[in-house]
Each structure stands twice: as C-alpha cells, then as structure tokens.
Amino acid sequence: MEEKVIYIAGLGLIGGSIALGIKRDHPNYKVLGYNRSDKSREIALERGIVDEATNDFKEFAGLADVIILTVPIKQTINFLKDLATMELKTNVIITDAGSTKGEIVDAAEKYLTGRPVQFVGSHPMAGSHKSGAIAADVNLFENAYYIFTPSTLTKTETISELEDVLSGLHARFIQIDAAEHDRVTSQISHFPHILSASLMEQAGDYANTHEMTNRFAAGGFRDMTRIAESEPGMWTSILVTNKEAVLERIADFKDRLDSIAELISHEDEDGIWNYFNNARLTRKEMEIHKRGGVESSFDLFVDVPDEEDVILQILELLRGTSLVNIHINEENREDSFGILQISFKNAKDLEHAQKVIAENTNYKVTIN
C-alpha cells in the first residue's frame, strides 16, 4: 500500500481527532504535526496522535502529500499565504477544517493559483466544547457530515483521494459550493449561537431585577441556551468571516419576531396556533429526527425504577462503548419507573448495549 505523508497544522481537538482517524485506517502513513504551543505538541506525541511534531510551520510542509490546516480561520488564511512561498511536493493536496468556507476558499485561490498544488476547502461538522490535543477523539466525526467545498484548485481526483485518506474518520462526505455552505450554516449553526447567547444575556440582565429567574430556569431554557457556553474566540471568527449571511438571517428573524408580536398584541389565537403548529411540523420533517442526521445518534430507552445506583449499574455495563449522551425523562419521575435514554455514536454499540442490559437486568429495553 502506498505510504503517504500527512501534515496536520494545529494539533487541537479537530486536528488531533483527524490525525487519529487517519491512523485508524492507514497505520502505515506518516503523520507529522505542527503546533504553536508546547503543551498540545507534547500531548500529541505522548498519545501517538502524530509521529513527529514541530513548532515551525515551514519545517514539514515540503515533506507532505497532504496538508491539513486545523488552526483558527484567520490563521488558516495566514498559512495559505505562507504556503504560496514554500517549496512543496508537486500536486500536494492542501485542505483545512474551518467552520466558514468563503474566505478560506478565496484566500486559497488568491495565494495558490499558478502553483502545482490542489486545494479543496473542508468542514468536518462535529465538535465539542473541549479543546486541545487532550480532547482529540478518534470517534469525533463518526456519522457526521464532512463537507468539501471545491475551488478552482480542486481536480477531479482531489476529493476522492482525500476521502480515502480520511476513511478512518467514518464520516459522511458531501460536497457543496463554499458560498452555499456559509449560507446554510448561518441558518442552522451561526444564527442559533447568536440567539442562544442573546437569550442568555437577556435572562442574565432580567435576573438582576427578578431574583427567581435563575431558580426557575429549567429544561426548555436549558435546551435553548446550551450552546451559549461555546468558545467565544471561535464564534467571533465564524461571525466575522460570514458577515453577510449572518446579518441577513438576523434581519429575517427580526421580521419573524415582529410578526409573532403582532399576532399576540391582536390576541389572534388562530394565528398564534398556526405559528406554533407550523414550527412543530417543520421540526418533525427535519433530519435531526432521523437517524444519521447532523446530530446523529443511536438511542436506546430503558425503563428504570427510581432507585439508588440503577443508573450507575447500567453505565457500568456500558463501559467502553461510544456513549455520547444520557437523559432521564423527567416527566416520568412521579411514576415508579422513569425512562433512561442513552445515545450512542454507532449502531454496533447500540446493539451491544441492548444485549448486555437485557442479559444482566430485568429492565425493559427498547430501541426506536
């Protein structure tokens, strides 16, 4: 099998996880890494995420068959500019992982056109609130969309070669134009983060004069504001590199708030009912309700008595599986049984979990 040299610049959550995924299917590839800070470089070497690491971006660039830039968006653009002046292997594939694509693809075309390189933008659509090489996870991208945004420097074979290099990530590869990527993500990711942060900020101010606000905030509020805990630096870069699309979504949303305000002020009950009903029906149609969607997970439901240690006992049986979330259905807490919902990253672990729980307990286990 052909041995390739892969150079990952930025050994954080995303770079480290990509490196681990590459090595899973291609243990013979040489994976080289760049990181500015000592800490993630040392962790990456200790954990075997990379074979060699440097703090000088230039050092390994000329050795690579594939260069993956996994640093913040502005730094990705700086590195694309730097690569234009470096001695690189002919036909090297250069890609990135930035959460917005327009400015990165434009920069690649601006700096690298005329050089014997291939470039395609990439956005692996999975993440975590954690960062750094310490958080790298070989399963991070399992079942997630891995989006390619072609450029004028993308050849027919560029994407298929990258898909082969990245096969061990077990992601779902898809291609879309960079501008359309940025428009769609402004709607389903960037704007919701703004909304969540705004809601949190509004409630924080309100709590200054209404002291029960913090105490009464429960499930619905928690679900709406979970992403307000995201890393501010990353979100700042995302918003400033997708300004137009995000501002357009904000303007559209203001109109929507005005229209529901209008319905409420006229006590238009049919209008309000329809507003909520449309939202409910639209949400049911979205892929988040289907297995394999962006937030795909494989769910198992266990009827458990409200007794001490039951959850610990079940979790102990599931040690070593790709468990991603557990949730106790609180509405059932007054019954003698509650529903424990456990989400896994893949069908194999789901089936394994169903089997071990059924064999070792007498709780009812269902999958749907």
Q: Is 11 in the site for ligand NAD (CB under 6 A)?
A: yes
Element (H, E) at 338: strand 337-344
Among 8, 32, 68, 71, binds ligand NAD (CB under 6 A): 71
Residue for token digits 């960062």?
A: 131
Instruction: State which residue, 45 or 234, has the beta carbon closest to ligand NAD.
Output: 234
Among 8, 66, 73, 166, binds ligand NAD (CB under 6 A): 73
Instruction: State which residue, 126 or 365, has the beta carbon closest to ligand NAD.
Output: 126
Closest distance between ligand NAD and the C-beta of residue 18, in Å? 9
Using CB under 6 A as the binding rule, the residues of this chain from 102 to 131 that contact ligand NAD are 124, 127, 131
Q: Is 365 in the site for ligand NAD (CB under 6 A)?
A: no
- For residues 74 to 103, the per-residue mask of contacts with ligand NAD, x marking binding by CB under 6 A and - elsewhere, is -xx--------------------xxx----
Give dist(CA 167, CA 161) in Å, integer. Answer: 10
Q: Is 35 in the site for ligand NAD (CB under 6 A)?
A: yes
Q: Which two tokens stand for residue 120?
A: 């395609």
Residue count, binding to ligand NAD (CB under 6 A): 24
Instruction: State which residue, 10 or 338, has the beta carbon closest to ligand NAD.
Output: 10
Closest distance between ligand NAD and the C-beta of residue 230, in Å? 8
CA distances from 277 to 85, 198, 269, 312 (A): 57, 25, 12, 39
Instruction: State which residue, 185 or 321, has the beta carbon closest to ligand NAD.
Output: 185
The piece of 12-20, 112-120, 240-248, 261-269 that touches ligand NAD (CB under 6 A) is 12-20
Closest distance between ligand NAD and the C-beta of residue 68, in Å? 10
CB-facing half-sphere around the CA of 9: CA atoms within 13 A: 28
Burial class (CB in 10 A: 0-12, 13-18, 19+), 27: exposed
Among 36, 115, 155, 193, binds ligand NAD (CB under 6 A): 36
Instruction: State which residue, 21 or 124, has the beta carbon closest to ligand NAD.
Output: 124
DSSP string of 122-172? EEE----S--SGGG--TTTTTT-EEEEEE-TT--TTHHHHHHHHTGGG--E
Residue 231: count other Cβ atoms within 10 Å of its Cβ: 12
Instruction: State which residue, 21 or 98, has the beta carbon closest to ligand NAD.
Output: 98
Orientation of helix 243-265 relative to helix 269-285, angle to 10°: 140
Burial class (CB in 10 A: 0-12, 13-18, 19+), 199: middle
Residue for token digits 């996994």?
A: 70
Closest distance between ligand NAD and the C-beta of residue 229, in Å? 12
- For residues 272 to 301, the per-residue mask of contacts with ligand NAD, x marking binding by CB under 6 A and - elsewhere, is ------------------------------
Q: Is 236 in the site for ligand NAD (CB under 6 A)?
A: no
CA 106 to centroid of chain Cα atoms = 23
Q: Is 70 in the site for ligand NAD (CB under 6 A)?
A: yes
| Closest to 121 measured CA to CA, from 51, 58, 73 | 73
- For residues 215 to 234, the per-residue mask of contacts with ligand NAD, x marking binding by CB under 6 A and - elsewhere, is -------------------x
Strand partners, 325: 343
Give dist(CA 249, CA 187) in Å, integer. Answer: 7
CA 308 to centroid of chain Cα atoms = 35
Query: What residues make contact with ligand NAD under the rule CB under 6 A?
Result: 10-15, 35-37, 40, 70-73, 75-76, 97-99, 124, 127, 131-132, 234
